[in-house]
Amino acid sequence: MREAVAHNLVEIRGLKIGATVFTPGEKPKDVEIVHGVDLNLEKGKVLGLIGESGAGKSTIGLSTLAYGRGGIRITGGEIFINGIDILKNSVGELRDLRGRQVTYVSQSAAAGFNPSKRLMDQVVESCLSHKLCSRKEAEERAVTLFRKLGLPDPENFGKRYPHQVSGGQLQRAMTAMALCPEPDLVIFDEPTTALDVTTQIDVLASIKEAIQDTGVGAIYITHDLAVVAQVSDHIMVLQHGRMVEYGTTDQIINNPQKDYTRALVSIRSTIHDETPAKGEPVLKLNNVSARYRGLNFDVVKDVTLEIHPSQTLAVVGESGSGKSTLARVMTGLLPLRQGSVSFNGETLPAALEERSKEQLRELQMIYQMADVAMNPRQTIETIIGRPLEFYFGMQGAEKRARVIELLDEIELGESFLKRYPAELSGGQKQRVCIARALAAKPRLIICDEVTSALDPLVADGILKLLLNLQEIEHVSYLFITHDLATVRAIADTIAVMYQGNVVRYGPKSKVLEPPFDDYTDLLLSSVPEMKLGWLEDVISTRKMDSAGN
């Protein structure tokens, strides 16, 4: 056995990780999910692990803590941290390793904090439990970290409870918690994925600064190559538990060698050419305002928009900007307070119950989370067949033939008829939801963040499918998203929303061309680009702080 190289902080050799799969109705079986991965990380460097879901990146990240999530175990290989093979460690030695030498920042900070304890108590916890320093010293360290991470009022920030700070701040507090015991290695597991694009960039910048200042080594896990390019020195691309490519950040971004990496780098290149609007608008919002019961302000304020036949209107904005509320108003789930919605030239009744079956049929919706948008106890045939039965009275063979036709349109095929949603992948689920919406032969489909829960390559496939279907079925889309790359890819018209107002509205070419208003500028500049040094450029030239700050 070869000894570990002294200057390497982490050295992983031939790592194999297995798990037991419990398929219903079958005997539990063991599968390998990571097939022999090697990696090195020098002290003070940052390694980016990138890949789609299921690539094994989080599993590898957690293995540096000699830890596996439920049912996962390390079946082979060696993991050296500071030259010590941690897989041979005793439980007591592992306890010393975790939370002291190696710490972890998870994706969902909101779920990572105990809601009933103050932030300070949680940030200093690992320092105290490892008896690294006194409480006073630990709190001083925490305040220094809060300041370094750009948190407001660092002296008093720790006195707040998790629900009293924003998502971006919470993610930074979690970074402070990980850095507080002055570890050698921090695992960042998708720390900015759940954040708004404008907030993500602030958090990213402060994480990067904190890494540089403290000289800690880090493994940064994400599915977004553009993000990881901003923080890491080296990048490892993973697919299905195997390494695809490893190199310096510069080489991976500018000169990728493998096809898979190339696909990831060029991911945001689909661009749909804008088509001019023709004909009467399908849907028109006239000065619409709406609010939820119990609120004393409007969530959507005086919005006027139009969607034309066979066109896509993209509504873009960060969370809380009122874009999903707008969709609820159109569908009638939230009756509007002022203004009117007209569909095919006639005014739609505000409440869902008063709309005719025909009006309901022509306006369909696709959701963000495909897994909860389908009844888990119904087969795909029932799910897609129900609108056919409900709106057109189709039965038996006729219905089945149409379902198969729709399955073909979404590129899935007949073999999916008898399956349940749980047996489908994320992208396949979303395709079934699209087929369900199409089954009603609608004139307009509202797509609420339909690609944001999907891996980039899969999301790309869905966008292409939607564009194809638009040509075949002549359906219009209202596309709600926070992702400007998606907007570029699919929109004809764009409406930018900010705090309930439409701040910019027009054809794509006009909206994405300067001069910009401050918010559009912030939004556009916050979209990570596949370019080294992009983060620094943006931070230095921004005009406006993100809403989350």
Partner 1 sequence: MTMRIPVSALIGLTMMAFFFCLAVFAPLIAPYGIGEVVGDVWEPMSAKHWLGTDNIGRDLLTRMIYGARTTIFIASAATVLSFTLGTLLALSAVVLGGWVDMALSRFIDLIMTIPTLIFALVVLSVVPTSILILIVLMGLLDTTRVYRLARAVAVDINVMDYVEAARLRGEGTSWIVLREILPNALSPLVAELGLRFIFMVLFISTLSFLGLGVLPPDTDWGAIVKENKEGLVYGIPAALAPAVAIATLAISVNLVADWVLNRTTSLKGGRNA
* Least distance to partner 1, CB of residue 52, Å: 21
d(CA 323, CA 523): 15
Residue among 84, 110, 277, 369 that touches partner 1 (CB under 8 A): 369
Report helix angle 518-526 to 197-214, nearest 10. Answer: 60
* Least distance to partner 1, CB of residue 436, Å: 8
Short-list 41, 39, 38, 37, CA closest to 9: 41
Footprint of partner 1 on 65-94 (CB under 8 A): none
- Toward partner 1, which CB reaches closer, 436 or 508? 436
372 lies in the binding site for partner 1 (CB under 8 A): yes
One-letter amino acid of 270: T
One-letter amino acid of 169: Q
Residue among 91, 92, 377, 396 that touches partner 1 (CB under 8 A): 377
Footprint of partner 1 on 141-170 (CB under 8 A): none
387 lies in the binding site for partner 1 (CB under 8 A): yes
* Least distance to partner 1, CB of residue 358, Å: 10
d(CA 378, CA 386): 10
Residues composing the chain: 549
* Least distance to partner 1, CB of residue 87, Å: 30
* Least distance to partner 1, CB of residue 364, Å: 8
Q: Which region among 18-26, 82-90, 218-226, 279-287 touches partner 1 (by CB under 8 A)?
A: 18-26
Residue among 102, 205, 244, 374 that touches partner 1 (CB under 8 A): 374
d(CA 102, CA 184): 6
* Least distance to partner 1, CB of residue 485, Å: 24
* Least distance to partner 1, CB of residue 464, Å: 24
Each residue 396-435 as x (binds partner 1 by CB under 8 A) or -, in order, gives: ------------------------xxxx------------
Please give the sequence-ordered ranges of beta strands (E in DSSP) within 350-500, or none if there are none. 363-366, 444-448, 476-481, 493-498
- Toward partner 1, which CB reaches closer, 234 or 355? 355
Query: What DSSP string runs through 260-300?
Result: HHHHHHTGGG--PPP----SS-SEEEEEEEE--TT-SS-SE
Residue 206, phi then psi, degrees to nearest 5: -75, -35
> By CB under 8 A, how many residues form the interface with partner 1?
32
440 lies in the binding site for partner 1 (CB under 8 A): yes
For residues 419 and 407, is the Cβ–Cβ distance under 8 A? no
- Toward partner 1, which CB reaches closer, 409 or 423? 423
What sign results for the dihedral spanned by CA atoms 359, 360, 366, 367?
Answer: positive
Footprint of partner 1 on 325-364 (CB under 8 A): 331-333, 352, 355, 357, 360-361, 364
Neighbours of 467 (CB within 10 A): 15
State both tokens at 104.
């972890």
Short-list 477, 339, 388, CA closest to 348: 339
Residue among 3, 7, 25, 472 that touches partner 1 (CB under 8 A): 25
- Toward partner 1, which CB reaches closer, 315 or 446? 446
For residues 483 and 447, is the Cβ–Cβ distance under 8 A? no
Residue among 172, 223, 436, 443 that touches partner 1 (CB under 8 A): 436
Short-list 377, 39, 499, CA closest to 234: 39
Residue 48: its H or E element? strand 46-50
d(CA 103, CA 100): 7
- Toward partner 1, which CB reaches closer, 331 or 470? 331
Residue among 146, 367, 477, 505 that touches partner 1 (CB under 8 A): 367
Provide the binding-site residues for partner 1, judged by CB under 8 A. 22, 24-26, 331-333, 352, 355, 357, 360-361, 364-365, 367, 369, 372-378, 386-387, 390, 420-423, 436, 440
